[in-house]
Amino acid sequence: MLWQSDLGKVSIPKRMTKRSIGNPITMAYFRPMKYSQTFGIILTAFLLFLTTQPLVIIESRHWVITGWKVAETNFGQPGKFMLYMGVMNIILFALPYIPAKRFNMVFAILNFSWTIRNFLILSACAMGECPQKQWPLYACVAVSFAILIMTFLPKIDVNKK
């Protein structure tokens, strides 16, 4: 609906007025942006927890592969790099500076790409034997993507000059 303002015959859509800011739908949309840095820290801590859980199980050899204990495979320790990137993410989520937020995006992209790499390597079939994928392997991908999204939504107060 269009209405006339006090300034004359300027018509402004009602959805663009200040009264619509308190709309519950609008509040539900903008509220996560207010807490995106806190969500990012919590998600990063949860990602570090997920690396300690069983990611894949190779039943023929009775191996349980986590981010830190990879049995006798050549996978390395994928959780170690995720720990380094996670600690950097937590530090940069906590800092209120614009360059810190920009670097946080870089570290989150590195963390997400490393998680995709881990997913592809750990879940690949080798010599006719496919590992049994566990839920933390899928959760690592989802949580690291959510961390990446949280880096794009920083709450920064911009001074108007």
Backbone torsions φ then ψ of 53, nearest 5 degrees: -90, 160
Cα-based distances in Å from 3 to 6, 11, 16, 21, 23: 10, 6, 11, 17, 18
Does residue 161 lie in a domain region?
A: no
Q: pTM of the prediction? A: 0.75
Q: What is the domain range of residue 57?
A: 35-151
CA-based diameter of the chain, in Å?
Answer: 80
Q: Which residues contact 26 (CB under 8 A, 6 or more apart)?
A: 20
**45/120 same-domain check:** yes
Does residue 8 lie in a domain region?
A: yes
**6/68 same-domain check:** no
**98/144 same-domain check:** yes
pLDDT by residue for the chain (161 residues), tens only, comes to 444 444 555 454 555 555 545 555 555 555 556 778 888 899 999 999 999 998 898 888 888 888 888 777 777 788 888 899 999 999 998 888 888 888 999 999 999 999 999 899 888 888 888 889 999 999 999 999 999 999 988 776 666 66
Backbone torsions φ then ψ of 59, nearest 5 degrees: -70, -35
In contact, 123 and 56? CB cutoff 8 Å? yes
